[in-house]
Structure 1
């Protein structure tokens, strides 16, 4: 990867800017993309071979540019809502505040890494049929905190990543930048997003050893980012469908390869009701290619049960709480190298009147 210094050295005497001091470096694209991703999920089609990064190149570059120029991904431009030209904003400007002291009940911080490997399954080889297992699970679900708590806001806490970055010219050493997100959204579309980038982790031992010898210098990327948005019906949470046929239609939008991604998105942005959780399990049970992986432990140390779907060089994994049917984790594993190219841990989901 060329930086300013290496480019000037390559030009040599032909450099028209010889003698001009090199300004301090800007935040690197990988950090900008990770920060943008922490604010909004940008996904590539499932099943596509993704060697380095899970977002299309154009989308990743756009996300980096949006953050670099003050445009927050997700349709928020220069502090105004998308579609409103400069000087014509009709909505209050979103405010960015210093990271507040948390007031919610914090989930235990997962301890994973520095090397990230796929989770271990009870049935790694020759997994049994999944239909009866998931249907039995769906028939005996218990309420979760998202069913029993009340309040103005839906609160969701996640940790995850959606990209593996190459930081070396030969592309042999990669790193992963997890982001932690706390998200509150009310029915009127007002919300608070609190995100922070976590220390890098690595997809294999070779990458970890390389970065121990060649540490990445800080680039000035904010350690925490808090965004408050005023009420807006365009951001209001749309209710999930309740009719089984409509739930199946929505989850299978784009075909079977998108099923696991859509389940991940529902649990990452909604307090999914018990009846809907049961129907999600039944849809997975009826989908050809979904296999039962049995008991497992996610990266937060929680016991769960897992199912997987293999598609075009990728293994999609969902881990559920066997008591409530809530999603605990989602993984997208690149095969056969077993790089965990994308992951989401759902650490909390509830309703509350308090902002953190």
Structure 2
């Protein structure tokens, strides 16, 4: 199994960090019986519907966060698991973003113009399926794709998706999906020409941290991690100028529960300032470690470099979406 696949599986394991004595079923049931989460808050956190939606038969994939069901026994003391910490973390504050705003620099596209907003990004996702018949366990497939998008105000433009062949953590998974190829996207390049009105650009919030809070921190009951999800969604949909980047940073810096995580490096080799927010910390917090959302910002320009909802137990963030290129242009690529 490759190191990359191992990290993706580890980060998606919902049982990570839960310490239960081997065979101590009663202790596990007792913990479940003392779960203070109400029936309504036990539902999965609601996500705002993204504006990047399927267009005809061509689906624009945003982020497919994969949940891999795993059952694992641990030996050692019982008790509340400590969240996985990223090296260099600074608890309780996103003040690291304030100096970035104060010295924000322009990008090559600031002040530019063009019919189309151009975005290019890579995304990692996957799928897990319970195997049946003579084979037990989960079949897992991991794949990545690069998306380039040219989009005009009237919803016209072009989307090009280049999908890589899937990777598998074991031969059982490879054999399972080889017999069911329809379960996975086809590797290769797919291009969709958009007619006017097919995918209109969503309206940008005002370049003000209060407006960003109202637009991006929804639904509020999901807690501060939803603020990071909202910022990532906005960056998948629009090119942000300097004023809007500054507003986003001020919004996050003033949001309780958003925490500085020091410097991190994305898969493109770019180093930036990372922030995170714990999931399940809304008005009705969930017990235990629910994981985190992460964002990585360029310390000079305030551009979002990468986003993620996963980190390994070693504290390495697995950046699932990497924002490679932004521009304004009059030409379709």
Q: After TM superposition, is the score higher than 0.5?
A: yes
1:186 aligns with 2:165: no
TM-score, normalised relative to structure 1: 0.59
Q: Are residues 342 and 133 of structure 1, via their aligned partners in 2, closer, same or farther at CA, if it must alter by over 3 Å?
A: closer
What SS is found at the alignment partner of 1:188?
coil
Q: In the TM superposition, what are the counterparts of 1:1-356 in structure 2 within 5 Å? A: 74=53, 76-77=55-56, 124=87, 127-166=90-129, 168-169=131-132, 170-201=136-167, 207=169, 209-210=170-171, 214=175, 216-217=177-178, 219=181, 221=186, 223-232=188-197, 235-255=200-220, 256-312=224-280, 313-333=290-310, 343-356=320-333
Choose 224-233 or 323-332, whichever is displaced more: 224-233
Write the distance in 2 (CA, Å) between the matches of 1:127 and 1:345: 24
User: What's the CA shift for 1:126?
Assistant: 5.2
Contact 1:141 1:325 in 2 (8 A): yes
Write the distance in 1 (CA, Å) between the matches of 2:172 and 2:324: 29
What SS is found at the alignment partner of 2:96?
helix
Write the distance in 1 (CA, Å) between the matches of 2:104 and 2:255: 20
User: What's the CA shift for 1:249?
Assistant: 0.8
Write the distance in 2 (CA, Å) between the matches of 1:138 and 1:343: 25
How many correspondences in the alignment? Answer: 247
Write the distance in 2 (CA, Å) between the matches of 1:298 and 1:148: 27
What SS is found at the alignment partner of 2:109?
helix
Write the distance in 1 (CA, Å) between the matches of 2:171 and 2:198: 48
What SS is found at the alignment partner of 1:333?
coil
User: What's the CA shift for 1:317?
Assistant: 0.6
What are structure 2's unaligned runs of at least 5 residues? Answer: 1-41, 59-83, 281-289
Write the distance in 2 (CA, Å) between the matches of 1:337 and 1:271: 33
What SS is found at the alignment partner of 1:347?
strand
Write the distance in 1 (CA, Å) between the matches of 2:316 and 2:177: 21
Q: Are residues 268 and 181 of structure 1, via their aligned partners in 2, closer, same or farther at CA, if it must alter by over 3 Å?
A: same
Write the distance in 1 (CA, Å) between the matches of 2:261 and 2:275: 5
The structure with more helix, counted as a fraction of residues:
1
User: What's the CA shift for 1:125?
Assistant: 6.2
What are structure 1's unaligned runs of at least 5 residues? Answer: 1-46, 60-72, 80-120
